[in-house]
Structure 1
Amino acid sequence: MKLLVTGGAGYIGGVVVRLLVDAGHDVTVLDDLSTGHADAVPAGVALHQISVHEVASVLTPDAGFDGVLHFAAKIAAGESVQFPERHYYTNVVGSLALLDAVRAAKVPRLVFSSTAAVYGNPQEVPITEDAVKAPTNPYGWTKLSVDAAIGAECTAHGLGAVSLRYFNVAGAYLPESGAPLGERHDPETHLIPIALDVAAGKRDKLQLFGDDYPTADGTCVRDYIHVADLAAAHLLALDAIEPGRHRVYNLGNGNGFSNQQVVEVVRAVTGHPVPVEMAARRPGDPAELVASSARAASELGWVPERPDLHTIVADAWTFYRSRA
């Protein structure tokens, strides 16, 4: 298929692009490189360095695209509280511009990068796709808004689409040939790469927010999913799309790991100390977020192949050292 990937120079989008190319698809990337990296785009793949708001200049009616995978978004939940207008402009207004272009070009397939943040503080764990949606920050609300817009587009205009709700994505893609791909956010806000910074001596200590949660060791519990497993789900979703139907799937391991467990695994993998400073809880942080991915397993045939936290951290460390 001829596919357009928005945000295809980013962490997750870049891995998906690599898998799509390896699977024989004709891929074009759109990325403004505000957080992405041009070197994440494989040789021979066209890169349009423009905003998602300008997608209609690439996704034209005569371009012949068979599908779009949409990753372009702002993802920092904390920033969304401080600057909600930035997230709404990129995530919602940009996605509406994309849907306009998809409709005008008669593109039949869309895979959307959504998030577990739409669930907020869950009433039950593990979380299913039918759980109450109550985001605790503007980032989650923007993604939920786009989910709703896509569903309406499918009903009104026959688009076939899948929204994939990610839990905590981590690790790195380590191909047999070619450069590895991992997290390179600036500033970095995710626990595992920050902990690796501490292990490597680039930070003095790691802050953990809250040690009085109702969990086994008092720290937050999160569901970590390997980026390569997550990326593979996008190819399965692309093949499963049906005209006029909007499907939604959670993507997670179904296992929870506490912040303290993550620190201990980072210490074990790197062989370095990771000094920890406990800080107060952050407003809106749920005690536990763990996915039920049963629907993705039954309907897509998707099962994570790298569910072990040690593997996830070890792959992230391999990528980290490759960049040192």
Structure 2
Amino acid sequence: LGRPATNAPLVAECDAVVHSALYRPGAGFRGAEGAIDRFVELNVVGTLRLIEAARAAGVPRFVFISTCAVHERILDDRPLDEAHPLWPRSHYGAHKAAIEKFVHSYGLGAGYTICALRPTGIYGLAHPVSDSKWFDLVRRVKAGERVTVERGGKEVHAADVARAVRLLLDAPAERITGEAFNCYDRYVSEYDIATITKELSGSSAEIVGEQRRPQHEIETGKLRSLGFEFGGEPLLRATVRELLDAV
């Protein structure tokens, strides 16, 4: 993103571009952006340069990986769908929201086949597997320890994100050009993970805490209207089984 001269050879003869790159000097997504001018130059301006290079090279389709962090102030009087106002509370979410507006202008204004996909938190087996989300919780429940469960989050499996990207690459251009698509499967609490782990492992662990539910659910009808189906509970349970086998 910081080397504009590399964009043209990077996209030459590509059938499509899927852009998920991000510059951040720190860890995490809040407060890790470093100097804001450099953060914007590399991530926002750098993305626009990449889009321009793709258009100049005749790349027929561009998928930008955005984030659910474009929605952090959420209204109670309307669905949390793609038409909901974008009100991020982090510079990370703000830069993604800014690029989404260019997705609209390039698609709806310039006629370029470009769209944005907004994953929530992403789960699945990481490499190394010990870096996987919920790894330590699964390990402790399997070992029969007493665990306290408090948190949860909106999640989608990495495989579902990949399949959603594939769908957007293949969908009719008129259905996706200039559009954004929410990518969210289900709310997963630590209580869910602990109880599934206990069931699958036959553990005697004591689980302290209650089930949690989100205040707002993200609507995904737009992506589903293209024929997409999320992995749901079977994929979540399969992932917990993989974690159990790995600990």
Category of TM-score, reference length = shorter chain: 0.7 to 0.9
Alignment of 1:80 onto 2:30: yes
The farther-off stretch of 239-248 and 116-125 is 239-248
Is residue 168–residue 224 contact of structure 1 (8 Å, CA) maintained in 2?
A: yes
Is the CA contact (8 Å cut-off) linking 2:11 and 2:17 kept in structure 1?
A: no
Aligned with residue 137 of structure 2, among 195, 199, 206: 195
Aligned pair partner of 1:71 in 20, 25, 33: 20
1:247 is matched with 179
Counterpart for residue 71 of structure 2:
119
Contact preservation (8 Å) 2:64, 2:116: yes
Counterpart in 2 of 1:174? none
Deviations 1:50-99 (A, max 9, x none): xx434753643993222111121258884432435475455324312312
CA contact (8 A) 1:224 1:257 kept: yes
Q: Hey, what does 1:170 align to over in structure 2?
A: 123
Distance 1:128 1:143 in 2: 16
Relative to structure 1, the CA distance from residue 156 to residue 313 in structure 2 (aligned partners, 3 Å threshold; closer, same or farther) is same
Deviations 1:159-179 (A, max 9, x none): 1112111123223xxxxxxxx
Per-residue CA shift, 1:186-206, capped at 9, x if unaligned? Answer: 995x753453465578xx998
Partner Cα separation in structure 1 for residue 159 and residue 41 of structure 2: 29
- How far is 1:237 from its partner? 0.7
Partner SS, residue 165 of structure 2: helix
Farther-moved stretch of structure 1 (239-248 vs 160-169): 239-248
Aligned equivalents of 2:62, 2:137: Cα separation in 1: 35
Structure 1 residues 207 and 80: CA distance shift in structure 2, 3 A: farther
Please point out which of 221, 241, 247 is paired with 1:294: 221
Higher helix share: 2
* Structure 1 residues 128 and 170: CA distance shift in structure 2, 3 A: same
Structure 1 residues 271 and 183: alpha-carbon distance in aligned structure 2, compared to 1, 3 A threshold: farther
**Structure 1: stretches of 5+ with no match in the other structure:** 1-51, 172-181, 212-218, 279-285
Indicate conservation of the 8 Å contact 2:123/2:133, yes or no.
no
| TM-superposition CA deviations, 1:287-310 (whole Å, max 9, x none) | 535321111112x11111x200x6
8 Å CA contact 1:160–1:241 kept in 2: the answer is: no
| 2:104 corresponds to | 151
> Which whole-Å deviations, capped at 9, do the CAs of 1:101-150 have from their partners, x for residues lacking one?
21321322111111111111322486211112111212111211111122
- Contact 1:118–1:143 (8 Å) recurs in 2: yes
Distance in 1, Cα, partners of 2:23 & 2:103 = 18
Query: Counterparts in 2 of 1:101-116, with a 5 A limit?
Result: 101-116=53-68
Contact 1:80 1:87 in 2 (8 A): no
Q: 1:230 Cα shift?
A: 2.4
TM-score, scaled relative to structure 1:
0.59
Which has the larger displacement, 96-105 or 130-139? Answer: 96-105
TM-fit CA distance, 1:246:
0.7
CA contact (8 A) 2:193 2:240 kept: no
Q: Bigger shift: 141-150 or 266-275?
A: 266-275
CA contact (8 A) 2:107 2:115 kept: no
Superposed, 1:23-62 pairs within 5 Å as: 52-54=1-3, 56-57=5-6, 59-60=8-9
Structure 2 length-normalised TM = 0.74
Partner Cα distance (2:2, 2:208) in 1:
41
Distance 1:145 1:224, change over 3 A: same
CA contact under 8 A between 1:252 and 1:290: conserved in structure 2?
no
Change (3 A) 1:267 1:165: same
Distance 1:316 1:261 in 2: 10
Kept in 2, the 8 Å contact 1:169–1:227? The answer is: yes
Map of 1:25 onto structure 2:
none
Aligned residue pair count: 238
